[in-house]
Amino acid sequence: MFGSLFSSKTAAHPPAVLLRLHNTLTGTLDEFSPLEPPTVTIYSCGPTVYDFVHIGNLRMYVMWDILKRTLMHFGYEVKHTINLTDFGHLTDDADAGEDKMMKGLRREGLPVTLSAMRQLADIYTKAFKDDTDELRIMPPTTWARASEYVEMQIRLIETLEGKGYTYETTDGVYFDIAKFPAYGKLGNINLEDLRSGARVQVNSEKHHPADFAVWKKGLLGWESKWGKGFPGWHIECSAMAIATLGKQLDIHTGGIDHIHTHHNAEIAQSEAATGKEFARFWLHGEFITIDSTKVSKSLGNGITLRHLRDLGFSGDDYRYWLLTAHYRSPVNFTVEALRAGKQALYRLKRVVFEEYATARPTVHEGYLDRFTAHLGNDLDTPSAVALLWEVVKDTTLTAGEKYGTVLAMDSVLDIGLNDEPDEGVRSLGIVGNSELPPEVQALMADREAARIARNWLEADRLREAINLRGYSVEDTPQGPKITKVTNE
Ligand code: AMP
Ligand code: ZN
């Protein structure tokens, strides 16, 4: 209900504020406008679905969700693709170390076959989508599974070959970066440094250490004119971006680890094939660290959303905490920091659901303009969240103005303030008297009687008795509130 209240408002009055985004291609904050308004196309590099994703991976998709909702807030329509890497690449220029899908197959005791890869990918694709739902990430227009676009990838390689951008070796087909002089423009890569910095050349048939496989020959995989094998990792993103969004994207996103190799490779392949600029804006998100080490499965600190849930945190708690840091700042994860975020969100939700929700919501334009300006400043979510609190603390606003304004802000931040109030209160663990077990109801009534009789000792004893049954009591101006204790 409130979402529509707000979106009809934005559609009628697109904000006059500028939308500027940090573009890795230029290294500056650039004013954004799409090629074909009102549509904006976004391609986000997705996970390899060989295991549960960790909280660092999830940070990326929360941030791109904010990007998408910000664009909608500015009146645009968004077409978004997230890819799912669902087969191994067995290449030496993907991530260092063992191929992730192979690792997954070994871990689950599955054979090395295409159908086993599919089985593994199905399990972890579902787990990834469940995580994104729990974090209120809007589903993309297209979830692109790499295995469903192999034909497209082969055709793209054939186009590159036809134009003379590739060469064949005994183990595969490689992109010849010397044929693409703009190679390395993202992040200003110096090719000579790459050559001199290269360790022992793993593949002596490669012309340049930075040449990368677009096809890898092998015993397993798909048939092609170069023999059986797999497309390279980078080619899947070029093929799926072009197939689902067209030859030119407005925005391409990924983590900072993708800039040097993966994204420069995507640019080279796509632009060599189409002759057009591939993506006009490149946005990159910084890492989450734990004790200054990046969160990563292979480093053994790959905390997942499931781990957070076991510690008593909800998807909203994690999303709220993420929004308190800017997407281009590295952030250090600690349970204490997340707990502080959880407490802040709890206070926010209680005040919204219990004190504002009975009022008729109206939006305070001044605050909303400031909110829009923060988002327009390269998605400055920490300032946007701070402004939300300013609204809550502003003693000059009516409850209705506060309610309408926080709901409008929440249509971008989506930390659950738009939930139906009774449902929202229940999700905080606050229970109505009638929902309590009879013995707890009786203890509550006795405690009220003791309080009225000013028998504080007895009231405290009864509070303890209620606590022992898994509930906590808090006295508020509206009367006692009872909350189910979580396992945090
Ligand atoms: P991968 O499956 O490793 O390709 O990762 C999927 C996405 O998560 C990519 O955009 C990575 O850049 C991103 N990512 C990986 N590790 C982290 C981390 N520790 N913090 C934030 N993002 C990460
Ligand atoms: Zn990609």
Look over the chain and give the mean of its residue pLDDT values, rounded to a whole number: 91
What band does 197 get if pLDDT is binned at 50, 70 and 90? Answer: low
Side by side, which strands form the sheet with 479-484? 430-431, 479-484, 471-476
Report the pLDDT value the prediction gives residue 62, as an integer from 0 to 100.
98
> What 3-state class would DSSP assign to 138?
coil
- By most ligand atoms within 8 Å of CB, the mutation choice from 57, 58, 81 for ligand 1 is 57
Ligand whose nearest atom lies closest to the CA of 322 = 1
Q: Taking the CB of residue 341, how many other CB atoms lie within 10 A of it? A: 22
- Mean pLDDT value across residues 284-289: 97
Ligand whose nearest atom lies closest to the CA of 270 = 2
Distance from the alpha carbon of residue 308 to the mean position of ligand 2, in angstroms: 27
- Mean pLDDT value across residues 263-289: 97
Domain ranges of the chain: 32-299, 311-427, 430-484
**Which residue's C-alpha comes closest to atom 7 of ligand 1?**
57
Distance from the alpha carbon of residue 193 to the mean position of ligand 1, in angstroms: 25
**Which residue's C-alpha comes closest to atom 4 of ligand 1?**
47
As a whole number of angstroms, the distance between CA 83 and CA 44 comes to: 7
- CB of 313 closer than 8 Å to CB of 321: no
Report the pLDDT value the prediction gives residue 201, as an integer from 0 to 100.
54
Distance from the alpha carbon of residue 64 to the mean position of ligand 1, in angstroms: 13
314-323 pLDDT, tens digit per residue, is 999 999 999 9
As a whole number of angstroms, the distance between CA 239 and CA 83 comes to: 11
Radius of gyration, CA atoms only, the chain:
26
Distance from the alpha carbon of residue 301 to the mean position of ligand 2, in angstroms: 23
Give the burial class of 152: count Cβ atoms within 10 A of its Cβ; 0-12 exposed, 13-18 middle, 19 or more buried: buried
For the entire predicted model, the pTM comes to 0.90
Residues with Cβ within 8 Å of residue 486, at least 6 apart in sequence: 312, 429
4-47 pLDDT, tens digit per residue, is 334 433 444 455 789 999 999 999 999 999 999 999 999 999 99
Instruction: Tell which atom from ligand 1 comes closest to the C-alpha of 256.
Output: 12
Shared fold status for 32-299 and 311-427: no
**Which residue's C-alpha comes closest to atom 18 of ligand 1?**
56
Q: Is the pLDDT of residue 80 over 60?
A: yes
Long-range contacts of 31-36 (CB under 8 A, 24+ apart): 32/250, 32/251, 32/281, 34/76, 34/250, 35/248, 35/250, 35/280
As a whole number of angstroms, the distance between CA 194 and CA 448 comes to: 74
Tokens 């659950």 belong to which residue?
416
- CB of 67 closer than 8 Å to CB of 379: yes
- Tally of residues, the chain: 488
Domain 32-299 has CATH 3.40.50.620: yes
Ligand whose nearest atom lies closest to the CA of 279 = 2
Report the pLDDT value the prediction gives residue 340, as an integer from 0 to 100.
97
335-374 pLDDT, tens digit per residue, is 999 999 999 999 999 999 999 999 999 999 999 999 999 9
As a whole number of angstroms, the distance between CA 182 and CA 360 comes to: 57
Report the pLDDT value the prediction gives residue 3, as an integer from 0 to 100.
39
Distance from the alpha carbon of residue 130 to the mean position of ligand 1, in angstroms: 18
Residues with beta carbon inside 6 Å of ligand 1? Answer: 45, 47-48, 56-57, 59-60, 254-255, 257-258, 287-288, 294-296
Residues with Cβ within 8 Å of residue 316, at least 6 apart in sequence: 136, 345, 415, 416
Q: Is 436 left (phi over 0), alpha (psi -120 to 50) or beta?
A: beta
If you ran DSSP here, which 8-state letter would residue 193 be given?
H
425-481 pLDDT, tens digit per residue, is 888 888 877 788 999 999 999 999 999 899 999 999 999 999 999 998 888 766 788
- CB of 41 closer than 8 Å to CB of 251: yes
Q: What is the CATH number of domain 311-427?
A: 1.10.730.10
Least confident of 55-69, 154-168, 273-287, 295-309: 295-309
Neighbouring residues of the ion ligand 2, judged by CB less than 5 Å: 45, 237
